[in-house]
Amino acid sequence: MNFIDKEYEPKEDDLICLFRIEPSKNYTIKEAAANVAKESSVGTWTHIGTVNERAKRIKARVYDIDDPYVKIAYPKELFELSSIPQLLSSVGGNIFGMKLLDSLRLEDIRFPKKMLEKFHGPQVGIDGIRNLFSVYDRPMLGTIVKPKLGLGPKEHAKVAYKAWKGGLDIVKDDENLTSMSFNGFKKRVDETMKLKERAEKETGEKKEYMGNITAPVSEMKKRADYLIGKGSNYVMIDIITIGWSALQEMREYLVGKNVVIHCHRAGHAAFTRSKKHGISMLTVAKLTRLIGGDQLHIGTAGIGKMEGDQKKVLKIEEAIESMDVSEEGRRLDQNWGNIDKTFAVASGGLHPGGLPGLVDKMGKDIIAQFGGGCHGHPDGTEAGARAIRQACRAVMNGRSLEEASMENKELKKALDKWEK
């Protein structure tokens, strides 16, 4: 079978993949591309006599080569349309181990309409989250309780309370805090939710706690139920380490419960960071939106401590926060149909002084999370939260932080620590 067809016009119900391919020595880009299409669809390494007409009809087709970038169209019949694991076993499976490739990266993916119809997408989405808090004119503001590990349930709750009292909307667990011997999940939820209610009464604002339910699926369901039973509208899941099948299972389990799924991407850089090999964070983000993640960490566009340049992060933000993305350069189009938007989360090394640049680059439809940039304030967590809220107010009013700091002592101390 010939897997190269530059005259082929992709159909609405084709799944499209954009790969970056570097062939091994003695192979051309065309040969490498054909083998990627073959191995990820119906072919194998040698001639076989069992190929039927159906196999010929549903084979993948390389229709565009712009060395080192290759676009491949896959007919929908190649996939179990409701299964992300099967999808990735095809377009993200054996192909990465072929000897004729020096490197291979899945850069982008476009889902067919028939596949979109099999998924719920985000249950709450950006508009629903803003409605939950009645916050529409600024970024959502949050923190991660620090240190990551070491605090007991009451200590954890006290830190959360101070952050809420200082003006933040959301407090979340860190990615490696689940149910430890010194900080059990249920006790932590009990203590934190009590102080959440207290902070809401004292501030007159809606507050939320993202409890990390990451665990085997059966346990995640129990932890989700416990959070919901305590009045929480959120669950947090480490989506890479639990796996796509587990995320699908949890999204199905939470149907109709109006619960926000906050998706932490811990572990993604093991396969997304290389510019030549692996699977891009853009692809991870699209899969997360398809399955139903309401919030997803995507980076800080060059601000903060995490890798991720501005162009790449903004491309991801558009993919999860737009309903119709046009094909442009090395970007595939995607009409999301009835799949709702996922809220972009910017987190990692942020402090109040970074807010102007963050909003300038990423806009106001972000959830900005500050860990050390809140708790590391010279006067502690509550002052750090106040400094963040003051910085946000200044940015949204078009004022410089320097000007605003003249009348906000918490912001001034934050800028003195981190900006000088």
Positive or negative, the CA dihedral 31, 32, 33, 39 is: positive
Type of residue numbered 68? P
Q: What is the CA radius of gyration of the chain?
A: 23
Output the pLDDT for position 307.
55
Stated pTM of the model: 0.96
Q: Are 121 and 288 in contact (CB under 8 A)?
A: no
Q: What is the DSSP string of 327-388?
A: --SS---EE-TTPPP-EEEEESS--GGGHHHHHHHH-SSEEEEESHHHHTSTT-HHHHHHHH
Output the pLDDT for position 43.
83
Strands (E), 153-247: 170-172, 208-210, 234-238
Output the pLDDT for position 306.
55
Tokens 């954890």 found at: 156
Type of residue numbered 384? G
Ramachandran class of 258: left when φ > 0, alpha when ψ lies in -120 to 50, beta otherwise: left
Output the pLDDT for position 400.
97
Candidate CATH numbers 3.40.50.1100, 1.10.10.10, 3.30.499.10, 3.20.20.110; the one for domain 125-418: 3.20.20.110
The yes-or-no answer to whether 14-116 and 125-418 have a common fold is no
Residue 261, phi then psi, degrees to nearest 5: -100, 110
Q: Are 281 and 265 in contact (CB under 8 A)?
A: yes
Output the pLDDT for position 301.
79
Q: Are 89 and 32 in contact (CB under 8 A)?
A: no
The residue ranges of the chain whose pLDDT is under 50 are: none
User: What would the two tokens of residue 400 be?
Assistant: 């410089």
Output the pLDDT for position 328.
87
Q: Are 113 and 339 in contact (CB under 8 A)?
A: no
Q: How far apart are the C-alpha atoms of 2 and 11, rounded to whole Å? A: 19
Positive or negative, the CA dihedral 358, 361, 367, 369 is: negative
CA atoms lying within 13 Å on the CB side of residue 403: 8
Output the pLDDT for position 44.
77
Element (H, E) at 175: none
Query: Which residues belong to the active site?
Result: 146, 264
Q: What are residue 101's DSSP bridge partners? A: 23
Whether CATH 3.30.70.150 fits 14-116: yes
| Residue ranges covered by each domain of the chain | 14-116, 125-418
